[in-house]
């Protein structure tokens, strides 16, 4: 088990390295001088040169990349204008935001986490619950209704759902405030109120997908022989479904959920843009519009980190849960 | 005794099968899947809807000629002084079937028709490229030795680890800036090209994984050995033995990719980096409409609903295709 | 002396096991030798894991031997590849065990059966379709069924199709790898009967791999018994079945329900078959042999014959009843 974790983590690190390399190289496709974009106001040629030198942009690409990596692992020294030493993990300095990228990310990450994690809990409970109920009586009215809702939910664009939710609950009915982020420890109710629409939108879409998945998985599990045995033993349907079938059906669901959550953490761009929340995704979009390279790099890396970590966790879980995989 | 599955016990050693009864004689797995699809009502309905959509989109100029209004025509005279369309429901009338855009006064219906064309063209080409590249890679990597398989597997991991939206957000403007200065007008074909490129580069990995899995399963099956023992070379084995058995995962991939690309293209346009003005596009239309959420909600609902219905039709049809290829008890299979 | 069609000398196949600390090796086949005159039939028996399928695959060069020699029609084909190997292939064919996996589900019967003809560029007089029809009739199927697909046939019928395919190029040697193990007992009899009559009528040499002695006995003139990668006894049918000398052969025969074996008192072999990763030293069978002596663990017995063509690899071959 330990050996598996070690090899798997090594692979993950390698993947991340390659991702960072690919992203890094992508920018050097830009014919445009990256510095100009980073220093939008009152920059004359002399200042540009100084900035370029401080950022190390006049050095060969490989050196820059290695310096960047070094910054991530042990920290490195930036120019005095950027605050001197940038401790690990150092993701560079953004001239657009006038702060180290890691500071920016540290600020916006909680927003994304606050959006995704509660929504994930919601969609898992709703989706899997609905899927299980559906599977109990295939072909019933409930089942057919839930299939329809699921299909609809999986086909709707998030921004449309978000827009409609805003229209109804915030503008027309006024019962929900305009979406904003308040740290939960400051004001839990405000935190929830500011995010509830985002949760609802995400939960609606994802629970639709998971309801379909859970239903299919449950139906497949229910047709297996060991369920027949459980029923033949005279166990109540609730026990058969709840204890026996669920445990078997849950594994693939958990793994897909893990992967989806990892991806979501890295990419709630549309949610954040629709609701005007300044999370990781929104920061990335803004950075792209501003040509703010270091921030773009930082967000891509963090997003990829989530995806890769989720993959490793899911693989490890599978390793533990499914004895056949060992 | 039905034709085909007769009981061997009833046949003497040199017996003959009874003449085939019914339609099961000579049914290849492919034609069986097709028959299952044709028997599925949902599939047929959605199939026809999709065909209609494709025809309308392909014949957009013809529709424009018949409808009489172009996508860029502005009808400022039919807007009030706030820029809102006169008339109920955002200006729906016999002349403007789905109303007018606030602000610019362009006809929504014809813009949706052209927007549909944009979405379908991009999604279809991206899907074709994705499954071709993915299938080729999956095939090769399943056949060639461990070392290549390991390397390609690592590349697939990286491709799947890249956060799709953020990478797309980064690459598309980068590509544009590489070839066009900040003041140049970027032709729609180039915009489409960069989108297709990004989709393909990030999307081939899923197909490759599916195909690779199937190739690994097939590689050790005895009919492949039989072909080799019969004297077949590698070309025959790939083209005539393996490939026909790979159509299923490839079709599954395509059926999943197409609606996903339609939605993704709309999403990217929504974020402002997909198809730009003035080319009509679903995503951008929705993005623009959100600004009029309180004043002209019909303008929000219409493109959103149309996009939703298109994606839904593709999803339903795709579900039916996957079901026909691999029937499972209980109806709608896993995604 | 007639030229042997097939001579196999000291065939060895070792597989390296991946992912272990030491370089562990699976000794699938560890020195197997036999020969086969044209038109003759040889049965290879043994339990699962004894290496008989590996031997079959090596003979038709689906697998490349790690050591040893295979001489077919006077030519050394042990390490042939590419063009020269493909030139030999039409003359040696194989029938597989699993009738559900040995036919491509997307190919019609006609396509499958004609495949060896097409890939070798053979154009029979009268056309391929007619030839396929002839082959199907030969194995007891209706020639009109050649446009149907494998899923429309039962296991026994599919196996017949596999046999038809193997006969397409008029090979001089057919290797049948457990051709009836996946079939119902009643069907087995038919397929075995078919193989036997085909072998005799067409004069094809046959190597029949299996674990069922009754089946082997019905078809094969000579029998080789394998255990853990080596042949422990080989001889004519009458020799093996009437006076088996190796304790393992005796145990196998005694285990056949209702067999007419000599001294059919059942013997219980001790323990589990050893692993091919670490075959026991000396005689491989000694860990399970009721007759073992200290010498058996130290010294590997050679396959030597006492009388006639029967040869046994045992230090204490049995000539009488169990002690």
Q: How far is C7 from chain B (nearest CA, A)?
A: 19
Q: Indicate contact of A with C: 3+ CB pairs under 8 A.
A: no
Interface of B with A in 269-328 (CB under 8 A): 270-273, 283, 286-287, 289-290, 293-294, 297, 300-301, 304, 307-308, 311-312, 315-316, 319, 328
Q: Tell me B177's DSSP state.
A: H
Q: Say how far apart CA C234 and CA C312 lie, in whole Å.
A: 7
Residue B49, pLDDT > 90, answer: yes
A157-181 pLDDT, tens per residue? Answer: 888 888 888 888 888 788 888 888 8
CB proximity list for A26: less than 8 A, separation 6 or greater: B170, B171, B174
Query: Average pLDDT in the C58-64 region?
Result: 91
Task: Check if B13 contacts C (Cβ < 8 Å).
Answer: yes
Q: Does C319 have pLDDT greater than 90?
A: no
C249-to-A128, C176, C211, C246, C296 alpha-carbon distances in Å: 59, 21, 12, 5, 17
Tokens matching residue A216: 């299919």
pLDDT digits (tens, 9 = 90+) for C123-139: 998 899 999 999 999 99
Has residue B332 got a pLDDT over 50? no
Of B164, B311, B329, the CB nearest to A155: B311
Tell me the pLDDT tens digit for each residue of B246-286.
988 899 889 889 998 998 899 888 888 888 878 888 888 88
Residues of B in Cβ contact (< 8 Å) with C141: 16-17
Q: Give the pLDDT score at B102.
A: 84
Inter-chain contacts counted by CB atoms under 8 A, chains A and B: 161
Say how many Å lie between the first and final Cα of chain A, rounded: 8
A216 and B328 within 8 Å at the Cβ level: the answer is yes
| Most confident by average pLDDT, A54-63, B27-36, C56-65 | C56-65
* Best of B9, B27, B225, B231 to mutate (most C CBs within 10 Å, chain C): B231
Answer whether A311 touches B (CB < 8 Å): yes
- Whether C193 and C11 have beta carbons less than 8 Å apart is answered as no
- Peptide bond between residue A289 and the one before it cis (omega within 30 degrees of 0): no
- Give, as one character, the DSSP assignment of residue B74: B
- Cβ partners under 8 Å of residue C160, min gap 6: C139, C140, C141, C191, C194
Residue-by-residue DSSP string for B6-24:
--GGGS-TT--PPPP-GGG
Is B334 in the A-facing interface, judged by CB distances under 8 Å? yes
pLDDT at position B12: 40
Output the pLDDT for position C93: 94
> In C, residues 144-163, which contact B (CB 8 Å cutoff)?
144-145, 147-149, 151-154, 156-157, 162
Is C149 in contact with B28 (Cβ distance < 8 A)?
Answer: yes
Contact call for A212 and B169, based on CB within 8 A? no
The Cα of B137 is separated from the nearest Cα of chain A by a number of Å equal to 19
Does B160 have pLDDT greater than 90?
Answer: no
b/e C226-239 (16+ beta carbons within 10 angstroms → b): bbbbbbbbbbebeb
The pLDDT of residue C110 is above 70 = yes
Q: Do B226 and C190 touch (CB under 8 A)?
A: no
* Interface check A145 vs B, CB under 8 A: no
pLDDT attached to residue B331: 42
pLDDT at B304 over 70: yes
CA proximity to B141, closest of B203, B196, B201, B204:
B204
Nearest to B223 among C104, C148, C169 (CB): C104
The CATH number given to C4-220 is 3.40.50.300
Nearest partner of B247 among B271, B225, B218, B272, judged by Cα: B218
Residue of A nearest to B172 (CA): A288
A34 pLDDT more than 60: no
pLDDT the model gives residue C258: 62
Q: Which residues of B touch C156 (CB under 8 A)?
A: 8
Q: What residue segments make up the domains of chain C, in order of their start?
A: 4-220, 226-312
Distance from chain centroid for Cα A7: 24
Contact B28 C108 (CB under 8 A): yes
A253 or C134, which is more confident?
C134
Dist CA A162 CA A200 (whole Å): 8
Return the pLDDT at B248. 87
Please give the average per-residue pLDDT across A130-151, as a whole number.
Answer: 82
Return the partners of chain C (3 or more C-beta pairs < 8 Å). Answer: B
Taking a C-beta distance cutoff of 8 angstroms, is the pair A120, A112 a contact? no
- Give the pLDDT band (50/70/90) at residue C243: confident
């Amino acid at each position: 088990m330990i050996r598996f974790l070690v090899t798997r983590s090594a692979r993950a690190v390698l993947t991340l390295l390659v991702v960072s390399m690919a992203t890094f190289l992508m920018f050097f496709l830009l014919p445009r001088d990256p510095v100009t974009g980073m220093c939008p106001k009152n920059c004359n040629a002399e200042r540009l040169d100084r900035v370029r030198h401080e950022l190390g942009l006049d050095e060969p690409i490989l050196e820059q990349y290695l310096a960047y990596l070094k910054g991530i692992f042990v920290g490195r020294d930036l120019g005095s204008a950027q605050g001197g030493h940038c401790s690990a993990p150092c993701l560079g300095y953004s001239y657009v935001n006038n702060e180290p990228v890691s500071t920016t990310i540290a600020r916006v990450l909680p927003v994304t986490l606050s959006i995704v994690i509660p929504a994930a809990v919601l969609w898992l409970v709703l989706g899997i619950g609905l899927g299980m109920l559906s599977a109990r009586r295939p072909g019933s009215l409930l089942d057919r209704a839930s299939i329809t809702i699921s299909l609809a939910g999986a086909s709707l664009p998030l921004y449309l759902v978000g827009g409609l939710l805003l229209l109804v609950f915030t503008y027309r009915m006024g019962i929900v405030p305009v979406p904003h982020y308040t740290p939960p420890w400051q004001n839990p109710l405000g935190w929830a109120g500011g995010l509830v629409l985002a949760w609802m939108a995400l939960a609606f879409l994802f629970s639709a997908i998971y309801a379909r998945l859970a239903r299919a998985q449950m139906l497949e599990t229910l047709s297996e022989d060991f369920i027949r045995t459980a029923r033949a033993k005279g166990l109540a349907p609730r026990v058969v479904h709840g204890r026996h079938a669920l445990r078997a059906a849950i594994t693939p669901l958990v793994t897909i959920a893990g992967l989806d959550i990892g991806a979501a953490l890295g990419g709630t761009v549309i949610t954040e843009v629709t609701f005007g929340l300044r999370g990781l995704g929104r920061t990335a979009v803004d950075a792209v519009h501003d040509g703010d390279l270091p921030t773009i790099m930082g967000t891509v890396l963090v997003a990829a980190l989530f995806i890769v970590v989720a993959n490793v966790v899911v693989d490890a879980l599978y390793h533990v849960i499914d004895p056949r995989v060992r | 005794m039905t034709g085909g599955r007769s009981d061997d016990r009833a046949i003497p050693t040199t017996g003959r099968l009874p003449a085939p009864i019914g339609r099961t004689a000579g049914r290849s797995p492919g034609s069986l899947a097709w028959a299952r699809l044709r028997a599925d009502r949902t599939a047929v309905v959605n199939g026809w809807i999709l065909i209609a959509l494709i025809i309308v989109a392909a014949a957009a100029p013809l529709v424009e000629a018949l409808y009489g209004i172009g996508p860029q025509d502005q009808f400022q005279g039919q807007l009030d002084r706030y820029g809102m369309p006169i008339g109920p429901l955002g200006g729906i009338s016999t002349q403007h079937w789905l109303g007018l855009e606030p602000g610019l006064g362009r006809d929504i219906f014809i813009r949706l028709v052209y927007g549909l064309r944009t979405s379908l063209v991009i999604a279809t080409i991206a899907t074709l490229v994705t499954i071709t590249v993915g299938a080729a890679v999956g095939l090769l990597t399943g056949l060639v030795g461990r070392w290549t398989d390991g390397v390609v597997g690592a590349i697939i991991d990286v491709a799947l680890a890249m956060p799709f939206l953020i990478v797309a957000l980064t690459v598309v403007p980068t590509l544009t800036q590489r070839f066009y200065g900040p003041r140049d007008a970027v032709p729609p074909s180039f915009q489409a090209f960069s989108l297709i490129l990004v989709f393909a580069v990030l999307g081939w990995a899923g197909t490759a994984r599916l195909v690779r899995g199937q190739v690994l399963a097939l590689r050790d099956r005895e009919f492949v050995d039989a072909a080799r023992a019969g004297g077949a070379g590698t070309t025959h084995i790939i083209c005539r033995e393996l490939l026909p058995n790979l159509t299923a995962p490839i079709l599954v991939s395509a059926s999943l990719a197409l609606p996903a690309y339609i939605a993704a293209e709309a999403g990217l346009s929504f974020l402002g980096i997909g198809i730009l003005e003035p080319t009509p596009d679903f995503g951008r239309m929705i993005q623009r409409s959100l600004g009029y959420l309180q004043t002209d909600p019909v303008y929000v609902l219409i493109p959103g609903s149309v996009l939703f219905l298109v994606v839904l039709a593709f999803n339903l049809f795709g579900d039916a295709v996957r079901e026909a290829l691999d029937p499972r008890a209980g109806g709608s299979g896993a995604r | 002396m007639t030229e042997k069609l097939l001579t196999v000398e000291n065939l060895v196949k070792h597989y390296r096991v991946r992912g272990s600390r030491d370089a562990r090796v699976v000794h699938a086949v560890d020195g197997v030798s036999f020969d086969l005159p044209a038109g003759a039939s040889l049965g290879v028996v043994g339990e699962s894991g004894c290496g008989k399928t590996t031997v079959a695959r090596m003979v038709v060069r689906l697998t490349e031997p790690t050591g040893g020699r295979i001489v077919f029609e006077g030519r050394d084909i042990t390490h042939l590849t590419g063009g020269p190997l493909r030139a030999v292939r039409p003359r040696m064919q194989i029938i597989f065990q699993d009738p559900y996996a040995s036919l491509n589900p997307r190919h019609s019967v006609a396509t499958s059966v004609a495949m060896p003809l097409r890939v070798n560029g053979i154009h029979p007089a009268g056309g391929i379709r007619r030839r396929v029809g002839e082959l199907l009739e030969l194995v007891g199927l209706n020639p009109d069924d050649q446009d149907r697909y494998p899923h429309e046939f039962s296991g026994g019928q599919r196996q017949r199709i596999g046999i038809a395919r193997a006969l397409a190029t008029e090979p001089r040697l057919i290797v049948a790898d457990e051709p009836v193990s996946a079939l119902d007992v009643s069907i087995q009899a038919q397929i075995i009967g078919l193989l036997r009559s085909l072998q005799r009528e067409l004069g094809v040499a046959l190597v029949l791999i299996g674990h069922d002695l009754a089946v082997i006995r019905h078809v094969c003139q000579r029998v080789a018994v394998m255990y853990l990668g080596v042949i422990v006894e080989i001889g004519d049918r009458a020799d093996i079945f009437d006076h088996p000398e190796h304790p393992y052969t005796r145990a196998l025969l005694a285990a056949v329900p209702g067999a007419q074996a000599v001294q059919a008192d059942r013997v219980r072999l001790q323990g589990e078959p050893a692993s091919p990763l670490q075959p026991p030293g000396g005689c491989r069978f000694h860990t399970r042999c009721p007759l073992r002596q200290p010498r058996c663990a130290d010294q590997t017995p050679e396959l030597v014959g006492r009388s006639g063509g029967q040869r046994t690899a045992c230090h204490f071959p049995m000539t009488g009843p169990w002690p």
